[in-house]
Amino acid sequence: METLIDLNCVDKKYYLAKESRSIMEWCKQVMKPSYVSFQALNEVSFNISKGAAVGFIGPNGAGKSSLIKILCGIQKPTSGSVKVLGYDPALREKEFLNQIGVVFGHKTSLWWDLPVKTSLDTYKKIYNIKDSDYHERLSELAEALDLGKTLHKPVRNLSLGERVKCELTLNLLHSPKLIFLDEPTVGLDVTSKYEIRKYLNYKRSQGDLSVFLTSHDFGDIESCCDDAIIIDKGKIRFDGSMRELSENFKAGVKLIVTTLDPVQSEGRLTEFKKAMEVFQGVGIINDGQNQIAYHVPKISLGAIFDKFQGGVYCLEVSPMDFESNVVNLFKTWSGE
């Protein structure tokens, strides 16, 4: 199968000016600046094949946006090799740029004071899109994303959901082979998220599009992606299919703990937390005054129920949802 993205030992370092804590230090910094380095990416390597939809997952500061910028050519890696669609993205060749789309959920490529349609018409000229293709694609996108009343509004008058859907439309008009989506649904309502996910899945089913998606909304990942890459502190922690990732999560369950006596609930739950410290691999998901949710290895359930039987606590077991499993992984790694 054709390789779409090929990364080999990619590093990215940023150099930040040292903080000045006095006038003397500031003067020295002006005369002879000194810097400290920050490693955003550390020997990142992976391959993605044509037609894939990959969810790129990681906590804030893990290196997700840095990698997106390297893949689309906005930044250069400090070291390592990058190939996207067979091109070096850093060269920003026209043939390469014609085959990709990039949507940053927190930024806009639309002209702020002009109607959305003006930006779309301009991009039609930039990408030399045929009239027939332009009208067909725009009609399809407007219907799928419910943009009928939006295209003639100034961008500054759009809601966040409308703006993001227009950004997606802008980046799909030239029919790219690969689209990068960096937090595309941040702050969007349920309906807008559904429309975007549905359309991306439709385009993938047509065989026209590959997707590289970063998001803190795990619903985006579960709905749109077949594969996942997890990054933490600039290093790849997992690279495989969503099915493999789900299989790795099956060893744990969610344990919700409440008390039968609401008056003494807070004190009883405090006692419960102390008693749970003897069990290995147990992590708190949510800690409230009236309820605690734990991530618990299945092999520990029997011992936990034996220890807390007696009618004081109510223990409810359920499968871990995808989001809770990933959050638990992040908490585990943060202690390394």
Indicate which CATH number applies to the domain containing 273: 3.30.70
In a domain, 208, yes or no: yes
Which residues neighbour 7 within 8 Å (Cβ) at sequence distance 6 or greater? Answer: 44, 45, 46, 47, 80, 81, 82, 83
**Last residue of a domain, which of 194, 212, 247?**
247
At how many degrees (to 10) do helices 322-334 and 242-249 cross?
A: 70
10 Å Cβ neighbour count for 325?
Answer: 21
Which CATH number does the domain housing residue 157 bear?
3.40.50.300
237 with 110, same domain? yes
**Model pLDDT for residues 172-190, shown as the tens digit of each residue:** 999 999 999 988 887 788 8
Average pLDDT over residues 319-330: 74
In a domain, 24, yes or no: no
The answer to whether residue 335 scores a pLDDT higher than 60 is no
124 with 263, same domain? no
**Last residue of a domain, which of 247, 262, 289?**
247
**Model pLDDT for residues 255-270, shown as the tens digit of each residue:** 888 887 777 777 888 8
55 with 197, same domain? yes
CA distance 170 to 188: 18
**Model pLDDT for residues 76-100, shown as the tens digit of each residue:** 999 999 999 999 999 999 999 999 9
In a domain, 268, yes or no: yes
**Last residue of a domain, which of 247, 266, 291?**
247
Average pLDDT over residues 196-223: 87
194 with 229, same domain? yes
The answer to whether residue 320 scores a pLDDT higher than 90 is no
Domain count, the chain: 2
Amino acid occupying residue 153: K
pLDDT at 12: 94
List for the chain the helix, strand, coil content (%; round to 5): 40, 30, 30
Which range marks the domain in which residue 155 is found? Answer: 3-11+42-247
**Model pLDDT for residues 124-156, shown as the tens digit of each residue:** 999 999 999 999 999 999 999 889 889 999 999
Measured in degrees and rounded to the nearest 5, phi and psi for residue 179 equal: -125, 135
